[in-house]
Amino acid sequence: MLWKGGGVNTGLKIKKAGTVDVEFRAPPSKSYTHRALICAALAEGESFIGNPLDSEDIDVTVNALIRLGISCRKIKDGIAVEGCGGVFPDVGEVIIDCRNSGTTLRLLSTLALLSPGRVTLTGTKRMKERPIGDLADAIKQAGGDVIFIEKDGFPPLRISGSLSGGRVIVDASKSSQYVSSLMLTGPYSDHPMNIMPKGSIASKPYLRITADVMRSFGIVPADVSNGSITIPQDVYSPSDYAVEGDYSSASYLFAVAAVCGGRVRVNNLNPHSLQGDRAFLGMLKDMGCDIDLNSGEDYVVAECRKGLKGIEVDMSGSPDVIQTLAAVALFADSPTTIHGVGNLKYKESDRIQAVIDMAEACGGRAEAGDGSVTIYPAEFRECLIDPADDHRTAMSAAVIGLGAGGVEIKNPECVSKSYPEFFTELRRAGLLHE
C-alpha cells in the first residue's frame, strides 16, 4: 500500500542526487546461486560455491537443504556443500519454512521426492497466496503424492512418494520455475524424464540458466528452446562453481544513470550472460541512454546525457526488471507501455498494482491493460511508499527518489531478500545523505 504526500517519519528518505558519475559492483546472481546450491546438494561429493549471494532467500535455501540432511558450510568467499548423490539421509518427516522465497519452495518441491520422509513446504502469508497447483500436478505425474494442507493449489503442501519420471506435462504459464524444478531433480528419476511444457512458458530465459548450471555440474539436458525437455538419468559431478553477477539487481544501478543523468559503471557482470534481465540494457538504450558492454571485460557502463523517451516493449522474458523500467518511465517525455506483465500478480506482491500505486503516489499515472501496463510521465511530488515487504518495489522507489527527490521508503530493510547491501552501496557512492 502506498500513501500520497507527507506521512509519518518511519522510513528512509531519499533526496534528489543530481548528475552522477559512480561505480558499483553487482551482487552475485540470486537465480544462479539457488540452482548451484541444489545441484551441489544432489552431486556425489563436495562442491564449492564461490561468490554466492548472501541474502535472505539464499539463507532459506541453505537452511532447507540442511534440514534435509545436506552439509552446507559457509567458508571464506563461498559455501562448501557435501552432496548426497541423490540419496538423502533419513531425517524423518521435515517441515521447511520457505518464508517468502518462492524460488526455494518451487525448486525444492520436486527434490522433496528424493527424501525418505514426508516433506512439508510452507511460508509466509503472502507465500500461501501464490499458486503452486500446476507444479503439484506435474509432481503427481512424475510419481509423487501431494497434499494441500490449507487451500487446494496453494502452500503449505506435503510431498511424499517417489520420482518415477517418464512423460510429465506441466503448465508453466505462471512460472518457469515449475519446469526448472523438474529439470534439476529429473536426473534422479527411475526412468528418463521427458518434460512437456503446456502453453506459453513464463520467464523462459530462466530455463537456460537452469540448463547452464546443470551443465556445470556434469549433466546436459536437451535443448530447452524446443517444445520438450529430456533429462538424462545421471548423477551430478561435484564442482567448484563461481556465481556470476546479477543483472536484476544491477538494473537499479543502471536506472540511476537514466533518471539522474550521468554515468554509472557496474562491475562483476558477464556481458554474455544468459540472464533475461540483461535485456534491460537494451531498453535503456531505446529510451536514449548509451550502453557500453565492454565485451571481454566484466563490467557494463550506462551513460545518459539527454532526455528519456517512452517505449513499447515486451518484458515477458525479464519480469524482475519491470518495476525498474516503470520507475525510469516516469521520467520519460512520453508514455511507456510494457507487455507481458500478467505473471506479476503472482510475485512477492501484486506487482502490477504496485507499479500503478507507486506511479500515482509520486505524481504520475499508470494504467493496466490486457497483459500490459502503461506508465505516463510524472509531475513529481513528495510521497511515502510502503513496499509491502517487496524488495523490488523498495529499490524501484529508491530510483525515483534519487531522480526526483522527496521519496520516503517504509521498511527499506526488505531489500535483504535479494540485495542486502543496496542502500549501503548507494551511501558509499555518495548518493544517499542522512
296 has pLDDT over 60: yes
323 & 402 share domain: yes
195 & 123 share domain: yes
The predicted structure's pLDDT at residue 348 = 53
Give the confidence band of 6 by pLDDT, cuts at 50, 70, 90. very low
The predicted structure's pLDDT at residue 295 = 66
Q: Which of 320, 357, 389, 390 is catalytic?
A: 320
Mean per-residue pLDDT, 287-294: 92
215 & 342 share domain: no
45 & 102 share domain: yes
Tell me which amino acid residue 421 is: E
Helices and strands (H and E) in the chain: how many: 12, 23
Mean per-residue pLDDT, 261-267: 98
202 has pLDDT over 60: yes
The predicted structure's pLDDT at residue 204 = 84
**Mean pLDDT for the chain?**
93
Residue 126 assigned to a binding site: no
Find how far residue 394's CA is from the centre of its chain. Answer: 15
Residue 200 assigned to a binding site: no
Q: How many CA atoms lie within 13 A of 116 on its CB side?
A: 8
8 & 55 share domain: no
Residue 433 within any structural domain of the chain: no
Q: Are 398 and 422 in contact (CB under 8 A)?
A: yes
E strand or H helix that includes residue 82: strand 78-82
130 has pLDDT over 60: yes
157 & 128 share domain: yes
Residue 212 assigned to a binding site: no
171 has pLDDT over 80: yes
Residue 66 within any structural domain of the chain: yes
The predicted structure's pLDDT at residue 343 = 67
Cis ω for the linkage preceding 187 (within 30 of 0): no
- State which of 173, 207, 240 marks the end of a domain: 240
Higher pLDDT, 350 or 405: 405
Q: At 224, give phi and psi (nearest 5°).
A: -80, 0
The string of pLDDT tens digits covering residues 8-37 is: 345 899 999 999 999 999 999 999 999 999
20 & 34 share domain: no
Q: 320 catalytic, yes or no? A: yes
Q: How many CA atoms lie within 13 A of 15 on its CB side?
A: 8
The predicted structure's pLDDT at residue 370 = 85
Residue 434 within any structural domain of the chain: no
224 & 268 share domain: no
The string of pLDDT tens digits covering residues 75-106 is: 989 999 999 999 999 999 999 999 999 999 99
* SS3 label, residue 114: helix
| Strands (E) located in 189-235 | 191-198, 229-231
**20: nearest Cα among 259, 260, 258:** 260
The predicted structure's pLDDT at residue 405 = 96
Mean per-residue pLDDT, 197-202: 82
Residue 100 assigned to a binding site: no
Residue 222 within any structural domain of the chain: yes
5 has pLDDT over 60: no
- State which of 193, 208, 240 marks the end of a domain: 240
179 & 305 share domain: no
Number of compact structural domains in the chain: 2
362 has pLDDT over 70: yes
Give the confidence band of 116 by pLDDT, cuts at 50, 70, 90. very high
258 has pLDDT over 90: yes
Higher pLDDT, 2 or 108: 108
Q: Are 315 and 339 in contact (CB under 8 A)?
A: yes
Question: Which span out of 129-138, 349-358, 366-375 was modeled with the highest average pLDDT?
Answer: 129-138
The C-alpha cell at 74 is: 559457509
* Exposure class string for 74-90: b at 16+ Cβ within 10 A, else e: eeeebbebbbbebebee
Tell me what percent of the residues of the chain surpass a pLDDT of 70.
94
Residue 99 assigned to a binding site: no
Residue 331 within any structural domain of the chain: yes
The predicted structure's pLDDT at residue 225 = 63
Helix, strand, coil abundance in the chain, percent, nearest 5: 35, 25, 40
| Strands (E) located in 65-137 | 71-75, 78-82, 94-97, 119-122
- Whole-angstrom Cα distance, residue 67 to residue 116? 13
* SS3 label, residue 93: coil
- State which of 182, 207, 240 marks the end of a domain: 240
The predicted structure's pLDDT at residue 3 = 31
Per DSSP, what are the bridge partners of residue 50? 78, 242
- CATH number for the domain that contains residue 145: 3.65.10.10
- Whole-angstrom Cα distance, residue 197 to residue 294? 36
Q: Does this model's pTM top 0.85?
A: yes
Give the confidence band of 4 by pLDDT, cuts at 50, 70, 90. very low
Mean per-residue pLDDT, 256-276: 96
- Whole-angstrom Cα distance, residue 171 to residue 403? 40
The predicted structure's pLDDT at residue 11 = 87
Burial class (CB in 10 A: 0-12, 13-18, 19+), 173: middle
DSSP-derived secondary structure letter, 204: T
Residue 51 within any structural domain of the chain: yes
368 & 392 share domain: yes
The predicted structure's pLDDT at residue 2 = 35
16 & 161 share domain: no
195 & 285 share domain: no
Mean per-residue pLDDT, 330-342: 93
Mean per-residue pLDDT, 179-196: 97
- Whole-angstrom Cα distance, residue 322 to residue 373? 10
- Whole-angstrom Cα distance, residue 140 to residue 291? 47
The C-alpha cell at 157 is: 503442501
58 has pLDDT over 80: yes
Distances (CA, A) of 391 to 19, 205, 302, 401: 25, 21, 23, 15
Residue 117 assigned to a binding site: no
Residue-number span of the structural domain to which 132 is assigned: 30-240
